[in-house]
Copies of this chain bind each other. A is one copy, B any other.
Amino acid sequence: MPGSIKDKVAIMGVGYTKFGELWDKSQEDLLVEAGYEAFDDAGIEPKDVQAIWVGVFYYFTGLSGCTAVEPLKLFGRPATRVENFCASGMDAFRNACFAVASGVYDIVLACGVEKLMDSGSRGLPGLKDFGHPVYGNASAPAMFALAATRAFHKYEWTKEDLAKVAVKNHYNGAAHPKAHFRREVKIEEVLSAPMIAAPLGRYDCCAMSDGAAALILTRPEIAKQYKHKDDYVLVKGNGLAVETVMPFYKPSFDYLGFPATQKAAQEAYKQAGVKDPRKEISCAEVHDCFTITELLNYEDLGFCKKGEGAELIREGVTAIDGELPVNPSGGLKCFGHPIGASGCRMLVEITKQLQGRADGRQVKDPVLGLAHNLGGPASVASVTILGRT
């Protein structure tokens, strides 16, 4: 049986860029901005960083572990690129945690970055050019639309239920200075938006964004000697799971939840000692690539039973002032989703919530926070639980 990462790693500083269409900034610019904000937040000098992990999905703009060292001016250090589809950033963080927990490094940088707006602009392939060699590829909206259609049929969920997720996440993101879309949307606006892949309209889908996020990790006894000595954040549990490639294409798939998320969550909860997520998790950043995904995530993460996801959004349970606020940042929908950056961005957000530093979107007195990515599409999931000291 696998062991646990619980309380072996501390987050001693965080940083992130504004997300958005950042045409005037390169991947390197974004990495430097997020990285140096994290160095400053941790109260360390760049030279204190002993190793680097960077999550980035696309290679096409030339960014790898080794090309990340140059803009950060961390010459001579080991630097590793981790790629795991939409979980790339959180998996970079996970590998950095193992390295710290092994005792080989004391202070490391885990970061994620992506320039989606530039994808394809240098004559190189963009998202549209990808496909599994055996299964080929449908677009992500087309696949998740099948999940929505199935949930509408099976549970009698409606487009209004989905729209409420978009309204909630835009409400939250409008209060966040670094979100891609800083505006609220009305339910009528969501329902009348152009269709992308029926029944998913424009506001049911996250957009393409650029951005970067960074975390400084260490062991708890070292965190006590630095700036956040009284409010560093602890890693309580982590699960990463791959269930199958392209579940949407498998005859056994019921479209109503993602086994990779279920498995990753079970592992993370076991490590963190969480028995009742609905009661014990104070706030969560979940992978709302589509509004339907957020509702199914509620179920896969154990916030409610299967088929009850829509009730949580209808009853306001996951609103910023609800019992279990989900995506207080605005989520992928409103904050943005630069693929490699998202996992780290969620962990930055949960860290700030736990430290009481989430100005304008602070959840009341959180104890445990959860971050979740789903990628591949829906092949791989990562769940991380953070807690106060």
Contacts and interface: CB of A to CB of B under 8 A. Distances in A.
B242 A102 contact: no
Contact of A77 (B51, B82, B95, B241): B241
A78 B87 CA distance: 11
A75 B98 CA distance: 22
B102 A8 contact: yes
B80 A95 contact: yes
Interface stretch (A122-130, A300-308, A309-317): A122-130
Nearest to A79: B242
17 contacts: A2-B50, A3-B106, A59-B59, A62-B130, A64-B83, A66-B242, A66-B245, A67-B245, A69-B245, A75-B242, A78-B240, A79-B380, A80-B94, A83-B83, A97-B102, A98-B98, A102-B102
Contacts of A106: 2-3
A104 B103 contact: no
Interface of A: 2-5, 8, 26, 50-51, 59, 61-62, 64-67, 69-70, 75-85, 91, 94-95, 97-99, 101-106, 122, 124-125, 129-133, 239-245, 259, 263, 375-376, 379-380
Contacts of A85: 64, 66
Contacts of A104: 2-5, 98, 101
A135 to B, nearest CB: 9
Contacts of A124: 125, 129
Listed from nearest, the 3 A-B pairs whose CB atoms lie closest are A78-B240, A101-B102, A66-B380
Given A3-B104, A61-B133, A104-B3, A84 B80 contact: yes
B84 A133 contact: no
A68 to B, nearest CB: 8
A81 B241 CA distance: 13
Contacts of A91: 65, 80
Contacts of A50: 2
Q: Which of A50, A125, A375 has the most CB of B within 10 A?
A: A125
A242 B103 contact: no
Nearest to A376: B66
A80 B82 contact: yes
B82 A81 contact: yes
Contact of A66 (B4, B94, B130, B375): B375
Contact of A125 (B66, B81, B125, B243): B125
A133 B122 contact: yes
B62 A131 contact: yes
